[in-house]
Amino acid sequence: MRSDSVNKGMARAPHRSLFKALGFIDEEFNRPLIGIAVAKSEIVPGHLHLDTIAKAAADGVRLAGGVPVQFPVIGVCDGIAMGHEGMRYSLVTRELIADSIECMVMAHGFDGVIYIPNCDKIVPGMLMAAARLNLPGVFVSGGPMLAGRKDGKPLTLTTVFEAVGAVGAGTMSEAELADLEEAACPGCGSCSGMFTANSMNCVTEALGMALPGNGTIPAVMAERLRLAKKTGVLLMEVLKQDLRPRSILTEKAFMNALALDMALGCSTNTVLHLPAIAHEAGFTLDLDCFNKVSAVTPNLCRLAPAGPHAIEELHAAGGIPAVLGELAKKQLVDGSAATVYGTLGEAIKAGVNRNPEIIRPIDTPYSATGGLAILRGNLAPDGCVVKRSAVAPAMLKHTGPARIFDAEEAAFDAIMGGKIKPGDVIVIRYEGPKGGPGMKEMLGPTGALAGMGLDDKVALITDGRFSGATKGAAIGHVSPEAAEGGIIGLLKEGDRITIDIDAHSITVKAGEEELARRKAEWKPSAPKVTTGYLARYARLVSSAATGAVFVE
């Protein structure tokens, strides 16, 4: 066992002395030492209860003969960080999380790891760590928040962001906004729509790194605690079999994950995270893979923000096994893919679609193609992404004048000030991985547009990114980014931009000579941040088109 290196033999007497300071007894040195990487905190609603999940997982480890040891992992609440300086510090934590877990596991000789994330960057950061370490490991998340309720209607965090725009448009009072604020987020758990956190927790099931139910069992249910306890027991079996993450995180697994991604209509942030996880697993997952899978995978679910349904409803309808079961009917997923509990086919076989209104049958999908689309053209030669399933039909093809903003805040002020008109194409640039730095999510502007009733009349493009809670013709990850001299940085007010989502195209009406002239005149802007982690991040990070991973 790896833990022998820290607790066996005469030379390790000092080490054992320190373990005994923690309360260890000699008998525990003969059992596997299991790290429990838990992102518990009191600032993230999705993580508030993770101590209870960790305790249940630890109980499972002890039941199966292991010695569990918890250690903490950081996590940013994207909702609280949204719309201000704090959002620069969201995506950048993904690399910090992976690095810090590597440090803790390698330094302390753990034999295996249980990963307990829940929210946006914590899930992919932990998956990156698991792939990098390649030690026996299993995931169990904290589970989704229940939807809020008002007047019998479900509410999500998106409802509140959109209500801000409604107040700005004069269609809602501040008193009504305050009522929504009280009701939308009723307790612990990851926000209740198919936003980034729930997208990644569901995708973890398809990747084979978690038990069925990981992505959909609500945070407050005892079933979630039972899942955590089973995960602890399972980890010990995974350790016994010496089953390693890289034997699970294969190209086959990622193709299954992409198919699920398209069927569910997951967050556009999966286009950043899945390539980054694949990178740690030792292979390249390029943007073309997303379009190839989307072309043959129907969109079966319209969960918030694309539709009215919350994750708890997806769980009641049969969860991820039921969605995978529908896809399997057309051989769109490979049941032979390995998982921590056997093969994906075992989950598929057990899946039952209990509500075809929530999970459309494979023969009657919402659309014949998937929920995400990668667009290319002279405006984004390296690609960009849109959540197609959350775009109004009228906006699938759109041409309009560019309205240029060099920061999110300026665009938000213009929206709230009534300066954006139907037909406009809002351009927010210098918010990419390097230019931001940190590639901010922009739920504030998209929520305001929706609240003002403009989400089906106005497009928004950016080299930054969007929350999974975003809906509308919101096109992110435009690459190359403005700070790298990308075409988005050369646009001028009034340039005509054409978006054709079905044709996977995004172009600006400007000749090659004109763009070349602008490029020759372009000068890099001064870095927004010159000290600290953000400055280091901006120097190391790659393009969004390659997952915004660090370049060694």
Catalogue the active-site residues.
467
Q: What is the largest CA-CA distance in the chain?
A: 76
Question: How far apart are the C-alpha atoms of 463 and 47, rounded to whole Å?
Answer: 29
Question: How far apart are the C-alpha atoms of 465 and 439, rounded to whole Å?
Answer: 6
Q: Where do we find the tokens 């994750």?
A: 311
Residues 442 and 431: beta-carbon distance below 8 Å: yes
Report the candidate in 117, 121, 105, 132 with the shortest Cα–Cα distance to residue 41: 117
Residues 201 and 214: beta-carbon distance below 8 Å: yes
Question: How far apart are the C-alpha atoms of 530 and 521, rounded to whole Å?
Answer: 24
The dihedral through the CA atoms of 183, 188, 192, 195 has a sign that is positive
Structure tokens at 288: 């073309």
Question: How far apart are the C-alpha atoms of 69 and 538, rounded to whole Å?
Answer: 34
DSSP per residue, 118-154: -STTHHHHHHHHHHHH--SEEE----BPPPEEETTEE
Angle of helix 251-264 versus helix 196-207 axis, rounded to 10 = 140
H-only helix segments in 497-544: 512-521, 532-540
Residues 68 and 103: beta-carbon distance below 8 Å: no
> Under 8 Å CB-to-CB from 520, ≥6 apart: which residues?
none
